[in-house]
Structure 1
Amino acid sequence: MATKTALTDREVKAAIASGKSGWLNQNMGAGEGSLSLRYWPTGATWYYSYNVRGKTRRIVIKPDSGTAQLLTLAQARAKALELIKERRDAPGGDLLLHQKMQTEAALRSKAAHEAEERARSLRTVEKLLNNYLDNMRARGKISTGSVANEFNNLLRDYPALADRDAASVTPLEWVGILRRYGKTDGHTDKMRKLRSYLRSAYSTALRADLDPLQDASAGMMLTTNPIDGIPAGTSRARDRNLSEQEFRALWARLRADSHPLSLALQALILLGGQRYTQLIRATVRDYQDGELTLYDPKGRRATPRKHVLPVQGMAKGLLDEFANRSALLGTDLLFTITGAGPALLDSASRYITDLSKAMVERGEATDTFRLSDIRRSLETIMSGKLRISKDDRAQLMSHGVSGVQDKHYDKSAHMDAKAEALAKLERWLVQDTAIVVPLRAGGAG
């Protein structure tokens, strides 16, 4: 295959029109390779050719993107000169190998980037929170639903947070979020709870990352817990106690409302002021033979402690109604609104907050109150007005019972005492509840 010093347009056109097959070559300079045209009856292709280690390498000289027309001699020569410049920088003068290595490197880089993006999608804040909830479920933590609700509210308020890399959210960013809940919205308790849940979520992920038995590819790539340095704040004990008259007004309003939340709160009161979060976890199976079994997970006990309550009088009517309603909704949950889940704490808290504001406006309460104030007020009433002993209140309200007491007390005797205490409470509640007198002048009648 002969190589000419320079090709001409006439030679190129004649070769393509000949209907034959062959090669035309133009030397591009000493050691610089050659411009080659391969032609055959149905077409032609330009190449840049060079020798390396005794072998001929050829690189196709393609038309610009978007055109299928064969390059002119001048265009092909210009592109060959560009390839010659590239070849001078190629290791060993092997441009084809260099291009191949660059292509492979680009593919590896793209694959690594895509893998990193996939991994990043598994390290988002939303994934961190969901992993923690899965961990709670695996450990049988009955507070999982409440924690999930807090996380859902967080991502609803801050939707852009969901797809953030969990490791990239700084302590200052978390402080800004928590500060909004603690100060702007006035929910200091919510702020403290959310901080605690977030700290636990990060801690759980960190432990998994450092566990040599865990698959490293599934880790969150965390090195620190951004919540650790954020102060929990001081939890001030509330001392709001509803007076007897305020409590009667509250009871009258609850009795006048047939909403499932109101019915659940009535049951909570009739059962001696149980913790709302424990009450709403109850299932239909937990209510049998005139008894309701709740489960107390407080403390570090591995298995929640059973807390059995006698169900009688008005409470029995309410729980029977809830059980029938659950059957119609096709759910095992005893206290539910739609059947899809329990009557959430946030919903009950808002209900009581709104109700207390209405009571203040009507002169039925001197100040607003919260859901947690109902339990405290009930204990005060049972202690002072109803003269129920401290031990019986402790057994009824599931607090102040040590492990030794819990194992050795006479269960039947305490069930009798609980039943008697609840009967006293119900009699007090229904006494003159129809009469609600405003507590201050100016209250609407």
Structure 2
Amino acid sequence: MADGDTITVCKVAPAGALQARNGKKGILFFWRYSQGTTSKRLSIGPYDATPGHVNKHTPTVAGYSIAAAIKAAEAMAVQHTTAKAAGGGMGEILEQQKQAKAEAKAQQEAAALAVKAAADATEAAAKYTLKALILAYCDHLQSLGRTSHKDARSIFNLHVIDAWPQLAVAPAKSITEEQVADMMRRLHEAGKGRTANKLRSYTRAAYQTAKAAKSKPSIPVHFKAYGITHNPAAETSPDESANKADKNPLTLQELRNYWKQIKDAPGHRAAVLRFVLLTAGNRPEQVFRLKTKDIDLTSTPPMVTIFDPKGRPGKPARIHALPLIPAAVETLEALKPQGEFALSTDGGRTHITAGSTYGAWSKAAAQAVGIVGFTPKRIRSTVETVLAPKSMGVSKEIRGRLQSHGISGVQAGHYDAYDYLQEKYDAMQTFYQILTTDGSAKILPMLSPQESGQVLQLVKSA
């Protein structure tokens, strides 16, 4: 056969003929048959020209002898004739074979998908656990600059991961409200109702973050992988009796004794304690994050800018401008800010820690003057308390502005762009007069920033 030739080898019973074609891949056998008014070919396979295979009636690995091709064509002819007698034909047989092959393939693919889904579910169960979710939430808080990430991490480590190891490694989406309540109950029965409520609050926030990740693009996409559709902590109830405000201000005499202990004490430590107190009860952890670049002693009044990260997750830290009275300026200059952080023990590379370092320093100063049960938080409460009387002339709103709390609502959030620097400055002066005036003396009229600057210059020159 020449290249491209097609020949009829022989007719086959009961229908059709065996043909051969010499193409690019060599000689191929076909069975040619009629279906209605059309003539069709059905492939049989390649021709095996190996010596000794001429009379083989079964195909080899290499292909078909003429005898084997005739036998294969006859089998196709029988199938076609039988199907045709039933009203079909080879076309119907081929379609059925095609459908059967497609169904088999679909079943294989479905089985493979089921195996993969089971493997994915097993992997997810091992990876997206309660422990992973709550720690991911702590990391999220930290990335937003929220100082609460430390408290949340500590509570989760102590009262979930260590206390409930089996629950901690369970899939996060399988946790129920009853299990969250049991974690809270353990703390409540140990007399730690406030901690139980904080555990509920942080757990609720973690689940809400993962639940909202599907529709809130500001939440990192990896929270979607937990598959959270309900919030078990939201269905529990807090212990209302443990949510009482921790109001425990110092007495005015205790406050003044504390000031006397530190006001003339030499050294860096005492200067740090003085500066924190003279910021009028602002949160120490925020004051200690003050950066040297955010100090402006040339403005009127002199001021520093700190950032308040407390608030709703997803919101940026609020800029909090603090004016400085002369005594605070003098103290800050004595601290000689340098490097990145203004309040530091290593030249500004890192800032003083509000808990371990400042907490220990302030407690030591308080104990020296006989203050029992002192905590740095009591100073914040004390400032609010001594400025509260109407006679002090410091409104609730200004106290909130001064200590960076209670600033909410549409008006404050969207419209009021006033900086309240003068009002904060006046409140700081009032506090300083209360701090430094003995109980029998009258509080002097407040000085303007310009007058205070003149007083500071006179003090320095003296």
TM-score (norm 2): 0.52
Is residue 291 of structure 1 aligned with residue 303 of structure 2? yes
Q: What aligned pairs does 1:234-383 form with structure 2 within 5 A after superposition?
A: 234=240, 235-251=243-259, 266-289=274-297, 290-296=302-308, 302=315, 304-316=317-329, 318-320=331-333, 324=337, 327=339, 332-335=340-343, 347=356, 351=360, 359=367, 364-365=370-371, 368-383=373-388
Tell me: CA distance 1:277–1:185, structure 2 relative to 1, closer, same or farther (3 Å): farther
User: What residue is the counterpart of 1:417 in the other structure?
Assistant: 426
Tell me: CA distance 1:154–1:404, structure 2 relative to 1, closer, same or farther (3 Å): closer
Q: In the TM superposition, what whole-angstrom CA distance separates every residue of 1:199-252 from its partner, at most 9, and x where no partner exists?
A: 111011122257899979951133421211222232213342311222234445
2:233 to 195, 220, 227: 227
User: What residue is the counterpart of 1:65 in the other structure?
Assistant: none
For residues 262 and 294 of structure 2, the distance between their equivalents in structure 1, rounded to whole angstroms, comes to 25
Q: Aligned Cα RMSD in Å?
A: 5.0
Tell me: CA distance 1:156–1:191, structure 2 relative to 1, closer, same or farther (3 Å): closer
User: What residue is the counterpart of 1:208 in the other structure?
Assistant: 213
The one-letter amino acid paired with 1:166 is A
For residues 272 and 216 of structure 1, the distance between their equivalents in structure 2, rounded to whole angstroms, comes to 42
Q: In the TM superposition, what whole-angstrom CA distance separates every residue of 1:150-194 from its partner, at most 9, and x where no partner exists?
A: 2145225534365443234443443344345556364x4444333
Q: In the TM superposition, what whole-angstrom CA distance separates every residue of 1:404-430 from its partner, at most 9, and x where no partner exists?
A: 58837585643652453354256349x
For residues 299 and 354 of structure 1, the distance between their equivalents in structure 2, rounded to whole angstroms, comes to 28
Q: In the TM superposition, what whole-angstrom CA distance separates every residue of 1:54-85 from its partner, at most 9, and x where no partner exists?
A: 99xxxxxxxxxxxxxxxxxxxxxxxxxxxxxx
For residues 384 and 217 of structure 1, the distance between their equivalents in structure 2, rounded to whole angstroms, comes to 48
The one-letter amino acid paired with 1:417 is D
For residues 349 and 162 of structure 1, the distance between their equivalents in structure 2, rounded to whole angstroms, comes to 34
Q: Equivalent residue of 1:228, what SS?
A: helix
Q: Equivalent residue of 1:227, what SS?
A: helix
User: What residue is the counterpart of 1:154 in the other structure?
Assistant: 156
Structure 2 unmatched runs, 5+ = 1-57, 60-108, 441-462
For residues 336 and 153 of structure 1, the distance between their equivalents in structure 2, rounded to whole angstroms, comes to 28
Tell me: CA distance 1:354–1:151, structure 2 relative to 1, closer, same or farther (3 Å): same
Residue pair 2:282, 2:403 contacting (<8 A) in 1 also: yes
Tell me: CA distance 1:392–1:120, structure 2 relative to 1, closer, same or farther (3 Å): closer
Tell me: CA distance 1:152–1:299, structure 2 relative to 1, closer, same or farther (3 Å): closer
1:171 to 174, 177, 183: 177
The one-letter amino acid paired with 1:146 is S
How far did 1:111 drift? 6.6
Tell me: CA distance 1:372–1:225, structure 2 relative to 1, closer, same or farther (3 Å): same
Residue pair 1:181, 1:191 contacting (<8 A) in 2 also: yes
Return the index of the structure with the highest Cα Rg. 2
For residues 265 and 179 of structure 1, the distance between their equivalents in structure 2, rounded to whole angstroms, comes to 40
Q: Equivalent residue of 2:277, what SS?
A: helix
Q: Equivalent residue of 2:226, what SS?
A: coil
398-407 vs 159-168, which moves further: 398-407
For residues 176 and 185 of structure 1, the distance between their equivalents in structure 2, rounded to whole angstroms, comes to 14
Q: Equivalent residue of 2:304, what SS?
A: strand
For residues 121 and 251 of structure 2, the distance between their equivalents in structure 1, rounded to whole angstroms, comes to 61
Q: In the TM superposition, what whole-angstrom CA distance separates every residue of 1:121-140 from its partner, at most 9, and x where no partner exists?
A: 431234313433454466xx
For residues 200 and 336 of structure 2, the distance between their equivalents in structure 1, rounded to whole angstroms, comes to 36
The one-letter amino acid paired with 1:244 is L
How far did 1:285 drift? 3.0
Q: What aligned pairs does 1:127-146 form with structure 2 within 5 A after superposition?
A: 127-133=132-138, 135-136=140-141, 141-143=144-146, 145-146=147-148
For residues 175 and 348 of structure 1, the distance between their equivalents in structure 2, rounded to whole angstroms, comes to 36
Q: Equivalent residue of 1:307, what SS?
A: strand
Tell me: CA distance 1:280–1:214, structure 2 relative to 1, closer, same or farther (3 Å): closer
The one-letter amino acid paired with 1:123 is Y
The one-letter amino acid paired with 1:420 is Q
For residues 287 and 148 of structure 2, the distance between their equivalents in structure 1, rounded to whole angstroms, comes to 13
Tell me: CA distance 1:351–1:416, structure 2 relative to 1, closer, same or farther (3 Å): closer
Residue pair 2:273, 2:362 contacting (<8 A) in 1 also: no
For residues 248 and 223 of structure 2, the distance between their equivalents in structure 1, rounded to whole angstroms, comes to 51
Tell me: CA distance 1:201–1:336, structure 2 relative to 1, closer, same or farther (3 Å): farther
TM-score (norm 1): 0.53
Q: Equivalent residue of 2:232, what SS?
A: coil
Residue pair 2:134, 2:156 contacting (<8 A) in 1 also: no
Residue pair 1:310, 1:418 contacting (<8 A) in 2 also: no
Residue pair 2:124, 2:171 contacting (<8 A) in 1 also: no
Structure 1 unmatched runs, 5+ = 1-53, 56-103, 432-445
Q: In the TM superposition, what whole-angstrom CA distance separates every residue of 1:281-300 from its partner, at most 9, and x where no partner exists?
A: 43333333341113345666
